[in-house]
Structure 1
Amino acid sequence: MPELIAVHGDITRQDVDAIVNAANNAMRGGGGVDGAIHRAGGPDILRDCIARFPHGLATGDAGWTTAGRLPARWVIHTVGPNHTAGERDRSLLVSCYRRSLEVADELGAVSVAFPLISAGVYGWPKQDAVAAAVETVSATSTRVAEVRLVGFDERTYRDIRDAIRVLG
């Protein structure tokens, strides 16, 4: 099990091997975390997305690109379920975390930072999104040594921190 750390801050400023992007199926940039990562990382990320994912990416899957100008080496893109649009299968959300860690292992990443996937504009209930993140990361066999769960706002950070404490 990797060391699980709650962080309050901006995912684009995390100095880790890989940051995880809560992407959309098209893999062409978007709003929220996706837009912030593309803006901060620059056009190399989009160019790599177009080359690696010409037909996009399925919900629950993950793949990687360069991190462009970000402090990380790679961006691991994963597509969470859109709860607001009726995608309510929790196994797809769990798959995002598992698949991202599998990709991190393929890359040899030792440290990875995740946002809270699907909890923003995709409307996944925040407490369940936190539980899915903490439970899945802690139960997934991986060579990643450190996983940061990054809460952009204070409330999300506290929720993540508290869930990690309960885990023990």
Structure 2
Amino acid sequence: MKQTYKQCLTDSMSRLVLENNYFVIGQGVVDGGHGMSSTIPVELHDRCLELPVFEESQTGIALGMALVGENIISIYPRFDFFISGLSQLINHSDKVSVMSGGLFSPNIIFRVGVGAKVPLDAGPQHTNNYTSELRSMLTNVCVHEIPVGANPNSTYREIEKSGGLHLVVEHMQCYGDMVEDS
């Protein structure tokens, strides 16, 4: 059976929140306003924290919540703006397990979106993909780029099994694409 890429993401978010006790934070997770918002069904909103646009603080909040035992999904609708949160990602989240001698091993999924270039180009500050650069900088955060045409459920099921720190790169132009059931 085929589903849209977006429906697969919605199913994954529901499963992570309802079955694995994840908490979702970010801009538009309750109030909407971007494509990723539509992957958070209203029945999950009691496990969501709506935040303003402040990516560095959001990344720090995600780590802080995870350090006290919450499983976190932190949503950044545009990869370009996630750059503001990289200090918290690279210098803190990526190294917290090592710095704590293994006492802390947080579960965080950082979801970032690469803006669409078709049918309309979202522009130069919304469509960049920094996956390879972050792979070279991160040692303890697993970086996953969901390939065009792939079912996102596979990536999220892998994350469910392993736990830990994950950066998941989604392609917004794929949200309407049909993908094979995983």
* TM-score interval, smaller chain: 0.3 to 0.5
Q: Which has the larger radius of gyration?
A: 2
TM-score for the superposition, normalised by structure 2: 0.41
TM-score for the superposition, normalised by structure 1: 0.44
Which fold has the larger relative contact order, with Cα–Cα distance below 8 Å and residues 6 or more apart in sequence? Answer: 1
